Copies of this chain bind each other. A is one copy, B any other.
Amino acid sequence: MENPGRAGEPPGSAALTAQALAARVASGDTRAAARACRLVDEGWPGHAELLAALYSRGAATWTIGVTGSPGVGKSTLCSRLVQHFRAQGGRVAVVAVDPTSPFTGGAILGDRIRMQAHWEDPDVFVRSVATRGAHGGLSRTAADVARVLGAWGARVVLIETVGVGQDELDVMRVADTTLVIQAPGAGDDVQAAKAGLLECADVFAVNKADLPGADDVVDALRGMLVLGHITGSSAAPRAGHSAAAFAAAVTTDAAAAGAAWDVPVSACVATRDQGIDALVTQLEAHRSWLQSSDAGRARRRERLRQELAGRVREALSAAWLAAHPGDLDRAAEQVASGALDPYAATLLLLASAAPG
């Protein structure tokens, strides 16, 4: 496989048009796909035209979000999933969402240390994304890169996140199917982190099922899911103050849509390739549910609505910043000096018709 970071010419070189690049990506050209991913990630001016041209090509691609707390064996399990999907035929891609450097904006981890097992397979494409803010949030960048890879020919795109924060939840929501990985041996802290992931799971995998305590994790997840179903359709009280509120907050995506997707929990041992076939079957069942049920279609519409809302928000913000050069700096200076509070400063910024 080509190294995606080094393929092609730099943006802006002669003869690069969005349409020409789109045609090359759609023909299955890996170098072109790598270049398109990079241009999308970097906010190349033609990226919207490129993505629009590729959109219909990737519409049939199945995106699977994979997440879980650090230490649960996410990378190993992802690698196994790639192997199983590749064995079914067709191309597979992995979009790895890395913690972003606040200063360079670049991915820290990079493509290089991931998926070494698939490095030589020309039909497996691994790409890290980490940019945020160039032309939208991290979740929109991940969605865009997944679409490029769908147009390149990937039948399945795995979107893998490191971390358990709010932004990672957003990334998961751009996927068709979300797989949350758990493992035995986590402390209270990890339990807490897990809570945020419960609600976005379509399928749970309890990895490292050969370790002590794995059955307890499976049982606990099933118990939470049952509680979630019981209370899922009622108006949930504000969570965080009682066990009942906690249970009420555990509604699954499916329950929220008023439908009948029962979130399965399965045990596996990724290092030994145990339980992966069964997991793939469960993931595929969720995909069928999405395509064949009203609730599944409603979920897709809601996801698109969220995506459009995010794109509109970023565009409005970019337009404002372009129209008000220097205003933010001046306002920050006034707040720092004590002349204004941040709330009054915001109102003044919004009220200024022209840069002050």
Contact = CB atoms under 8 A, between A and B. Distances in A.
B332 A240 contact: no
A187 B138 contact: no
A292 interface: no
B52 A166 contact: no
A264 interface: no
The A interface, classified by DSSP as helix, strand, loop or mixed, is: helix
A324 to B, nearest CB: 9
Given A98-B192, A341-B56, A342-B311, A240 B165 contact: no
Given A308-B328, A308-B345, 11 more contacts: A70-B187, A75-B188, A99-B164, A103-B256, A106-B249, A108-B246, A162-B193, A165-B166, A166-B168, A308-B349, A316-B317
Given A301-B332, A315-B350, A332-B304, A186 B70 contact: yes
Nearest to A341: B55
Interface stretch (A23-31, A109-117, A213-221, A276-284): A109-117
Interface in A146-173: 161-169, 173
A313 to B, nearest CB: 4
Interface in A313-356: 313, 315-317, 320-321, 328-329, 331-333, 335-336, 338, 341-347, 349-350
A59 B346 contact: no
Interface string A101-138: 11110111111110000000000000010101000001
A199 interface: yes
Contacts of A187: 70-71
A5 interface: yes
